[in-house]
Amino acid sequence: MDLGIAGKRALICASSKGLGRGCAEALAAEGVHLVLNARTEGPLEETAAAIRAAHGVDVVTVAADITTPAGQAAVLAAAGDVDILVNNAGGPPPGAWSDWDREDFIKALDANMLTPIALMKALLPQMMDRGWGRIINITSKSVKAPIAVLGLSNSARAGLTGYVAGTSRQVAGSGVTINNLQPGMHATDRGLSLAHKRAEEEGITFEDAVKEASANIPVGRYGTADEFGAACAFLCSQHAGFIVGQNILLDGGEVNATM
């Protein structure tokens, strides 16, 4: 299927690895020019070079922490007028309800709620003026089914989800759609780090920890960044203009719910 977005430009935050990179690869395969971002320059440049070589699109890189005002300003300056925005950043650390104080919540809200809101606020006006835009926020399955040890993530991402629910409907008439992708377990550095942690805690092998985690997923395995990227690219396509304000679970059926 031709997604009809060749020649468009996309800003993909936190995209040198993992799910962000999966989105970048899938959009580049459709002929979309990219602005990529991550904090660490080396892997960011390697990813950019690999994507240029594989897909022949323009790739601009900005090494910056997207959760800081300075990082956002640098990324926005390099991005200019983009047609597609994919919001992403690292997730907050795990813990227990009794661990977190005001500062921990402010940090999580800054990273996983206020940063994507700031980038949407900055880029929506020019998308609306041109009558076309696609915004995807990478959130988590924890918005639908809480992960107790990720209380900071549950809270911040739920806040972003509420913002998107209203805002997506305010801007849809201008040809701009905003949707959230909710990843379940994916075989990325972050996803696999949880299996490493469990293996250490339980004194089992990493392979057994992955097998244990996969047993809770009806598909029987972790998701891949490629699958995730393909879903993102479809939501950014010409064909997805009627999909507005949705929260789409990519979890292999792990969340056991009827709707």
Residue 188 is a binding residue for ligand NAP (CB under 6 A): yes
When binding is defined by CB under 6 A, the residue of 151, 183, 245, 252 that contacts ligand NAP is: 183
146 belongs to the binding site for ligand NAP (CB under 6 A): no
3-state DSSP of 20-49: HHHHHHHHHHCCCEEEEEECCHHHHHHHHH
Stretch that binds ligand NAP, among 10-18, 76-84, 121-129, 206-214 (CB under 6 A): 10-18
When binding is defined by CB under 6 A, the residue of 3, 10, 12, 14 that contacts ligand NAP is 14
Shortest distance, position 212 Cβ to ligand NAP, whole Å:
15
Return the C-alpha torsion angle 222, 224, 229, 235, nearest 10.
Answer: -30
Q: Is the Cβ of residue 171 or residue 225 nearer to ligand NAP in the bound state?
A: 225
| 194 or 204: CB nearest ligand NAP | 194
Where in the chain does DSSP place strands (E)? 9-12, 33-38, 59-63, 84-87, 133-138, 176-183, 247-250
Selected binder of ligand NAP within 3, 23, 28, 37 (CB under 6 A): 37
Q: How many residues bind ligand NAP (CB under 6 A)?
A: 28
Which of 32, 66, 84, 164 is the binder for ligand NAP (CB under 6 A)?
A: 66
| 31, burial (CB in 10 Å: exposed 0-12, middle 13-18, buried 19+) | middle
Contacts of 195 (CB under 8 A, 6+ apart): 206, 209, 210, 213
Integer Cα distance of 169 and 134 in angstroms: 13
DSSP state of 186: B
Query: CA 249, CA 259: separation in Å to the nearest integer?
Result: 10
39 binds ligand NAP (CB under 6 A): yes
Element (H, E) at 125: helix 115-130
Between residue 70 and residue 129, which ones bind ligand NAP under the rule CB under 6 A?
Answer: 88-91
Q: How far is the CB of 121 from ligand NAP (least distance, A)?
A: 18
CB of 157 vs ligand NAP, minimal distance in Å: 8
Residues in CB range of 173: below 8 A, 6 or more apart: none
Contact 247, 144 (CB under 8 A): yes
| Least distance between ligand NAP and beta carbon 74 (Å) | 11
Residue 175 lies near ligand NAP (rule: CB under 6 A): no
- Give, in degrees to the nearest 5, the angle at Cα 157 between 112 and 139: 80
Residue from 40, 126, 170, 205 touching ligand NAP (CB under 6 A): that is 40
With CB under 6 A as the contact rule, the residue among 189, 202, 207, 208 that binds ligand NAP is 189
- Residues at the interface with ligand NAP (CB under 6 A): 14-20, 37-40, 43, 65-67, 88-91, 138, 140, 183, 185-186, 188-191
